[in-house]
Structure 1
């Protein structure tokens, strides 16, 4: 049986293509090699190139939800990264090479993300970039690790991307442990002790739940009540009944915007008086739109600065590019933008030549600074940022600090 990683569309064959191009250049200086080398090079260059990409492009592969209940998260993450890569390409690219972001739809389902990842690796992408979700990342990382492909900047704070240490996984955002620690700290400071968790019934929900349990345990407290919702479902009826019976003083929510909005609407309509707190993955813009005025007072932790901030020059650059796209500001697209900026910096440091060179370039970014926003990687530390802050929605769906 053939090995897909070494077939005519795999990484090994990508290296053969590069060698063939080199031989073609040599052949032009050696008369009797000229024709066959040119033929080989031309033929091989047509194999396994992602659609719309040229042989000299730097191709990054991305699997996100472009359809289904979590689609806005995928579209926003793609938008933020894509518009920054386009601005770099317009300025000449990386030493003349364009960055191509090849995005595939996984519908926020692990099996589809796994299939997409196999395809992207077979197409010899330079790195996997900006995946969205814990369950989809969990299904994809073993493939990336086995193929020695960098897995960079996923939109998830799950601990499974951090522990145990994986040489091929690079995290831009803070972890869910960091987020839930700050949320619990705030709730306890408000005098609340009956703290419950509403979470998605999958790896993402379990990651957030573990963070809340850890934060409460450090304060000699336990989760007061738990309720779940299935991935890609807004059927929260059982969870609503559970929380109405328990009557918690606060509920930490670890799900996506659709199910969280429906849970808040139904529990509020039935008179539950509680404090709602969400982790960043919820999708702030989408949640605010879904809730409208009843979202007033809902807390959301954030792992990037406000997209409306005027404190950072690079955020203002993001604002200019978003305006040119005719799109709205969002935390999710800003996170994609930040991940793209860091990736470009690594490519500029020589990470465009091979996957191993990219890994070394990222690890060289010790105490880097994106215009006042610190990021840092190292050979034994693949977490760029610890930034977390708390925000609250007002009656107009605006974010307050």
Structure 2
């Protein structure tokens, strides 16, 4: 089931959403340089160490930082409550700058240091770059921040555990709503790599069900905000809506330049754009920009996991402000902790016992959120629409 709602209630978007980006990155680099003591694979004693490769710098840095901070917030609280059978859960995070080669190198380092599992990788091209090593070492990759089908293939079902809905789920909801509003001239602005291609395919497949196709497409390179050519190409076609499958820097640049060129249509973004990052980048120009969401609103306390998130944030969040990316990191850590708890229930926690425990969670709910790891037979995938406002808030 895909969840959607009318765009009605309002909540604030985070500002910086972290205690100084430079200070945060500097602390992470210093910690990584200090080195980590390799942990035994069975994790019989000591900390349960997770390896996270994500962008902490560059065009997707804010997204990676927020996702990591949300997860760290949960694990800090978990550890304060005794961890998993008295053992702390720690995240070792390495910056990959949203570059596949750096992510592959980070993954190799994690494997060499014998981390227990991989967690919270950010992005399609980076996560895909880790797959050969994931498959060779049979090391679980939990909650990669990507909706690509490449991470949802049947042969990966015992290795890659996806918490979020797919880009196909997100774009299907977009197209259903747009067609229902009579908006059929849909263009796609997408990143020229596996991430963007996944989003384009999702839009194309959803439109095909209505005997339609994109009226135009244009691309931007990864880690680039050079959008001038794409703006000229798409605005000339006068589409009703432009679906954006890019990062927040490129999306914000495109919105500004398209509006300056006289475009008066709507902009829709998939969740990977990073809601607060996009809002921060656009400022007042965020008004009316739509973003699909794959986790509940971090501002509305009607959802159980949001109440948990805000309660823990109130205890130990310091200067961290609520935002969707941190919420997703928190939720991913929350679900993984349930898998770790079940996997350690018979005493010895291993990768095999974790995988078996996660299998038992598929199709269930954790803190009111539907868990649907497997690409087939999933009972529910959470997706809803949100709209940005010009004063830094989100309507859902």
Aligned CA RMSD, in angstroms, stands at 2.0
Number of aligned residues: 353
Partner of 1:391: 386
Aligned to 1:108: 98
Asked if 1:168 corresponds to 2:164, the answer is: no
Matches within 5 A, 1:10-29: none
Cross-structure match for 1:30: none
Unaligned runs of 5+ in 2: 1-35
Partners of 1:59 and 1:125 within 8 A in 2? yes
Query: Cα distance, 1:366 vs. partner?
Result: 3.9
User: Residue 275 of structure 1: CA displacement?
Assistant: 1.2
TM-score (norm 1): 0.84
Q: 1:177 to 1:117 in 2, by over 3 A?
A: same
- Post-superposition shift, 1:382? 9.1
How far is 1:136 from its partner?
Answer: 0.2
Contact 1:171 1:383 in 2 (8 A): no
Q: How far did 1:240 drift?
A: 0.9
Relative to structure 1, the CA distance from residue 215 to residue 272 in structure 2 (aligned partners, 3 Å threshold; closer, same or farther) is: same
Helix, strand or coil at the partner of 1:364 = helix
From 327, 335, 343, the counterpart of 2:336: 343
Decide whether aligned partners of structure 1 residues 278 and 83 sit closer, same or farther in structure 2, where only a CA change above 3 A counts.
same
SS of structure 2 residue aligned to 1:327 = coil
* Deviation (angstroms), 1:281: 0.3
DSSP-derived class of the 1:56 partner: coil
Q: CA deviation at 1:291?
A: 1.1
Does residue 326 in structure 1 map to residue 319 in structure 2?
yes
> Distance between the aligned counterparts of 1:249 and 1:82, measured in 2?
41
Q: Which has the higher contact order (CA 8 A, sep 6+)?
A: 2
CA distance in 2: counterparts of 1:261 and 1:70, whole angstroms = 13
- 1:171–1:382: 8 Å Cα contact kept in structure 2? no
Unaligned segments of structure 1, at least 5 residues: 1-45
Deviation at 1:322, TM superposition (A): 2.9
Q: Which residue of 1 aligns with 2:5?
A: none
Q: Match for residue 120 of structure 2?
A: 130
The TM-score normalised by the length of structure 2 is 0.85
Matched with 1:144 is 134
Q: Which residue of 2 aligns with 1:31?
A: none
Q: How far has the Cα of 1:393 moved from its partner? A: 1.1
Q: Determine the structure 2 residue equivalent to 1:242.
A: 233
Cα distance, 1:381–1:365 mapped onto 2, change above 3 Å:
farther
User: Does structure 2 retain, via aligned residues, the 8 Å contact 1:199–1:208?
Assistant: yes
For 1:264-303, what aligned pairs fall within 5 Å after superposition? 264-303=255-294
Which sits farther off after the overlay, 270-279 or 162-171? 162-171
Report SS of the residue matched to 2:268: strand
